[in-house]
Chain A
Amino acid sequence: MRKLVMLLLAFSLLLAACGEKPEMKKKAEKTPATETKTAAQVGSNDKFILESYGTLRTLDPACGYDSVSHMRIMNIYEPLIFFDGSATDKFIPVLATEVPSLENGGISDGGKTYTFKIRKGVKFHKGGELTAEDVAYSIKRHMVVDQEGGPMWMMLEALVGVPSTRKDGKIREGVFEKIDKAVEVKGDEVVMHLPKPFPPFLAVLAYSYGGIIMDKEWCVENGCWDGTVENAAKYNNPAFGSEPLHKIENGTAPYYMLKWEPSVEFIFERFDDYWGPKPAIKTGIVRYNQEWSSRKLALQNGDADRVLVDPQYLAEVENMPGVTIHPVPQLSVTGAIFCQKINPEANPNIGSGKLDGKGIPVDFFSDIHVRKAFLHAFDRKTYAKDVWNDQVVMPTSPNAKGLPYYKQVPVYEFDLEKAAEEMKQAFGGQIWEKGFKMVITHNTGNDQREAAAHMLAENIMSLNPKFNIEVRNMDWKDYVVAYRKYQFPMFIIGWGADFPDPDNFMFTFMSSDGVYGKFSAYKNEEVDRLCKEGRFEVDPAKRKDIYERLQDIWYEDAVGCMVYQKVDHFTYRDNVKGFVPHPMLDHEWESLKLLSK
């Protein structure tokens, strides 16, 4: 027994020694520490720290399709053009020397040919100079990769006319030849040929989802596509994580990646050979911090220059001294979408699945009176005030405010009497007589959607004691799977712009081919026709008519209940200057080169 005790004690002493030794010695060594500290503090005017909780998936510009990847990629690489300030339809040249337009001849052939003059004297982080060949290679390479779940459908739609390089799991015949021919080099210029005019093309190029420029030689050295049509299939659709540029970079932007420690920190360092003006911030650090209280204290103590603030905590930083908040309305809307043909198979959300007071029939929401009753039960004013402290835009249709052809269509005002009136007419009065039972599900962790679900449920239940709605929550990923199986009577979900165009929203929410339209089982021939026509229409006046009509139909058909248009609050210490808001760039965004302290 004594041996055991000795063993235990020796072990703990050893560990204690490991832990305590440095503490005892630290006093003797304190001088260098303080020296380093002061040195760092003098220079801390050029250091910027952002604390957020988004995790970076990949640095490969062909594969990253979320705002976290976008932020990292856009601070390391550069596109040909970028948004001008806060505008979504005006651009500034970046690696091109001018933005193509009808006036300067950059856009020709009725909107089917785009010509970019390439900037000279641009250096990559790891050496090498930018050429037109690099530009053409980059644009093509992204399309060749076309990872499943990636963003390349936009470029492919624009330049090749198909949304994917594959069909039914096999590579489309001749798709790589088409990609190769779509982009060509003419001296210092790169010319892109579109099969059909694609109005949002410039906006797609300004984002990281296809418009990022890389160094061809470096890419090929690091295992990317070699540039030949024959070999392209080998580089198509890599598995997640095996994309060759996953964790390395060689961009032209004013920052290069110093270090990426996943879910801990990502460090940007200023690139001294940058072609443009030298930015004020030398080191940019994005630190992962999941816990709100911890982020808040970091902001309060000045240990972070900016932290991510979710809307429900906004009130806690509003009056914090030394903090500036920039509200930025986003091109991102959330709506409750009614499913007009619910899947009854093993579905816990519709009770008995019949009109007998213990469930709802599968076509419950195909009756417009039921839809109107729910719309009348949503108290927009209280919702905006209570949930968002009135810091929100309440949309009237999926076409978010700030998009072209935005129109304020009428809404079904909050009126419980009218809601009851509609319910009495639904299913020939049977709903009112027998009552019903159903479940509204929202995705876990989104307080704003949760509140909307509760509001709808409670207001509808107050109409008639026989109405019974339970509110449940589900992980976002389960949620995505379930709504795609037509399992929810209604689903509350958001959509952020891929490019600032009404097509991206109206098609998604309303068309029977759209991501949400399809799973709401809503079908209207006129809507489908208009959505198709609108996408490729070049005449702005005609487009205006099309999209305004679609927005009117949203109201007339009571397709769904728009809940909110997101406003992100960029929260800085007030010594940080230079932030430029943009409705396409959500709270994960930061442009380091614009900032100064």
Chain B
Amino acid sequence: MTAYIIRRLLFLIFVLFGVSVLIFGLLMTFSPERRAAVYVTTPQQAKDIPKLVKQYGLNDPVPIQYARWVKEVASGNLGWSLVAARPVAKAFWSYFPTTLELNLLASPLVIIVGIWLGTLAGVHRDTWIDHGTRIGAIVGWSLPTFLFALVLLMIFYGYYGLFPPGIISSDTSLWVINNPDKFTRYTGMYTIDGILNGHLWVTWDALNHLVLPVLTQVIVVVALLMRVMRSGMLEELSRDYVITAKAKGADAHTINIKHARKNALIPVITVAGQLVALSMEGSIAVEVVFSRQGMGWWLAHSATQLDMPVLMSVCMFIGVVFVLSNLIIDIMYAYIDPRIQLQ
């Protein structure tokens, strides 16, 4: 087991290298002028493009540019994010909590609702409950996220003036800035900082701004989980032990909940990566529409505006998270299921 973990951690270095080379190579397909144009925002500045190419050495051979980047990163400098107008590391800590906050609230809801609906559909296979939940999920999922977000915004904020967009109201934000002694930004998440500082009305205000984003996020991601849960349930319900249990006269509820559902949960773990990816996609649209600048917004803008240092660093960060979470899942698997041996 230890050997396995060590091997996976060594593999992590390999992944980091691979990801950085891949993204770097992709970015190097842009002409040097195009990469210099990243620094240009007005027609006036365009005349300096050739000089910028020279200043930043964008015309040097690719390996030299890569080596330069590695040297900078090794000395702890991740680079400058033009999109965020901050060093990458600093910008990361200002955007990350926003996205984390959204997903901390959304994921338990996704898990609960997804498992519940999936079980329901699986147990009542081929009935109207099954078809209804499935079609409902497909409709929810096939609507582009941004569309759903905007419709919610129009109904609640447009009609009823409830749940405004943004991260927090400007009054609260001002109060927080003007009272640094009363309110410390421990985590960068207003909901949690509000509790930690004992100012629950701040938490309440932040939650008010989170209702619609969380709702959107849940609806986008829940369909996938539901689908996996449903097929897991179907598989389990056809197994021998269920049939045996039935034969023994166990009631349907016990079978469904006590036996089948628990086992059906296992495949859910395998799609965890996919869930994270979906949440990412959801975050981008949610953050743009509800004006909550977080990681999704930052990455999308960096990708479309060629913010190289951000793409490199954040993709590597995600790579690390990905490898580590897979490792944890593997260990969990081995822990749960003694038949699996890690080697």
- Residues of chain A whose beta carbon lies under 8 Å from any beta carbon of chain B: 1-5, 7-8, 11-13, 15-16, 18-19, 21-23, 25-26, 28-30, 32-33, 36-37, 40-41, 44, 47, 49, 55-58, 65-66, 148-151, 166, 169, 237, 239-242, 246-247, 258-259, 261-265, 267, 283, 285, 287-291, 293-294, 297-298, 300-301, 303, 475, 477-478, 480-481, 484-485, 493-496, 498, 515
- Residue in A65, A247, A289, A297 whose beta carbon sits within 8 Å of that of B154 in the complex: A297
Q: Does the CB pair A283–B174 fall under 8 Å?
A: yes
- Residue in B48, B105, B204, B336 whose beta carbon sits within 8 Å of that of A1 in the complex: B336
Q: Name the B residues within 8 Å of A3 (CB-CB).
A: 335-336
Which of B10-18, B117-125, B162-170 interfaces with chain A?
B162-170
- Name the CB-closest residue of A to B301: A263
Q: Does the CB pair B175–A40 fall under 8 Å?
A: yes
Q: Counting CB contacts under 8 A, is B42 at the interface?
A: yes
Q: Does the CB pair B43–A493 fall under 8 Å?
A: yes
Q: Name the A residues within 8 Å of B165 (CB-CB).
A: 289, 294, 297-298
Q: Does the CB pair A477–B150 fall under 8 Å?
A: no
Q: Counting CB contacts under 8 A, is B246 at the interface?
A: no
Q: Does the CB pair B104–A19 fall under 8 Å?
A: yes
Q: Does the CB pair A293–B42 fall under 8 Å?
A: no
CA distance A327 to B158 in the complex (A): 26
Q: Counting CB contacts under 8 A, is B330 at the interface?
A: no
- Residue in B84, B105, B112, B336 whose beta carbon sits within 8 Å of that of A262 in the complex: B84
- Name the CB-closest residue of B to A475: B304
Q: Does the CB pair B105–A478 fall under 8 Å?
A: no
CB distance from A512 to the nearest CB of B (A): 14
Which of B31-39, B126-134, B275-283 interfaces with chain A?
B31-39
| Secondary structure type dominating chain A contacts | mixed
- Name the CB-closest residue of A to B161: A301
Q: Does the CB pair B108–A58 fall under 8 Å?
A: no
CB distance from B343 to the nearest CB of A (A): 21
CB distance from A555 to the nearest CB of B (A): 23
Q: Does the CB pair B108–A16 fall under 8 Å?
A: yes
Q: Counting CB contacts under 8 A, is B256 at the interface?
A: no
Q: Counting CB contacts under 8 A, is B83 at the interface?
A: yes
Asked whether A484 and B173 contact (CB < 8 A) given A12-B111, A494-B43, the answer is no
CA distance A241 to B204 in the complex (A): 37
CB distance from A291 to the nearest CB of B (A): 5
CA distance A23 to B203 in the complex (A): 8
CA distance A33 to B304 in the complex (A): 41
Q: Does the CB pair B171–A40 fall under 8 Å?
A: yes
Complex A-B: 8 CB contacts under 8 Å: A23-B207, A30-B204, A33-B201, A49-B170, A237-B55, A246-B85, A264-B167, A267-B177
Q: Name the B residues within 8 Å of A19 (CB-CB).
A: 104-105, 108-109, 191
Asked whether A33 and B204 contact (CB < 8 A) given A241-B80, A262-B91, the answer is yes
- Residues of chain B whose beta carbon lies under 8 Å from any beta carbon of chain A: 31, 33-34, 37-49, 51-52, 54-56, 80, 82-87, 91, 94, 104-105, 107-109, 111-112, 150, 153-154, 157-158, 161, 164-167, 170-175, 177, 191-192, 194-195, 199-201, 203-205, 207, 262-263, 265-266, 269, 288-291, 293, 297, 304-306, 332, 335-337
CA distance A468 to B130 in the complex (A): 54
CA distance A428 to B40 in the complex (A): 42
Asked whether A293 and B154 contact (CB < 8 A) given A55-B85, A241-B80, the answer is yes
Q: Does the CB pair B48–A149 fall under 8 Å?
A: yes
- Name the CB-closest residue of B to A296: B158
- Residue in A32, A148, A289, A293 whose beta carbon sits within 8 Å of that of B150 in the complex: A293
- Name the CB-closest residue of A to B268: A8
- Residue in A8, A258, A288 whose beta carbon sits within 8 Å of that of B111 in the complex: A8
Q: Name the B residues within 8 Å of A49 (CB-CB).
A: 170
Asked whether A30 and B201 contact (CB < 8 A) given A18-B104, A240-B39, A289-B165, the answer is yes
Q: Name the A residues within 8 Å of B154 (CB-CB).
A: 293, 297
Q: Does the CB pair B85–A262 fall under 8 Å?
A: yes
- Residue in B31, B111, B157, B205 whose beta carbon sits within 8 Å of that of A481 in the complex: B31
CA distance A354 to B54 in the complex (A): 35
Q: Does the CB pair B201–A240 fall under 8 Å?
A: no
Q: Name the B residues within 8 Å of A36 (CB-CB).
A: 171-172, 175, 201
Q: Name the A residues within 8 Å of B85 (CB-CB).
A: 55-58, 241, 246-247, 262-263
CB distance from A97 to the nearest CB of B (A): 32
Q: Does the CB pair B52–A148 fall under 8 Å?
A: yes
List the 5 closest pairs (A to B, CB-CB), nearest first. Answer: A33-B201, A241-B80, A22-B203, A40-B171, A15-B108
Q: Does the CB pair A8–B49 fall under 8 Å?
A: no
CA distance A477 to B33 in the complex (A): 10
Q: Name the A residues within 8 Å of B41 (CB-CB).
A: 57, 65-66
Beyond A16-B109, A285-B174, A291-B291, 16 additional contacts (C-beta under 8 Å) are A1-B336, A4-B266, A7-B332, A12-B112, A21-B195, A26-B201, A29-B201, A149-B40, A240-B82, A241-B82, A287-B170, A293-B153, A293-B289, A294-B153, A481-B49, A515-B44
Q: Does the CB pair A169–B54 fall under 8 Å?
A: yes
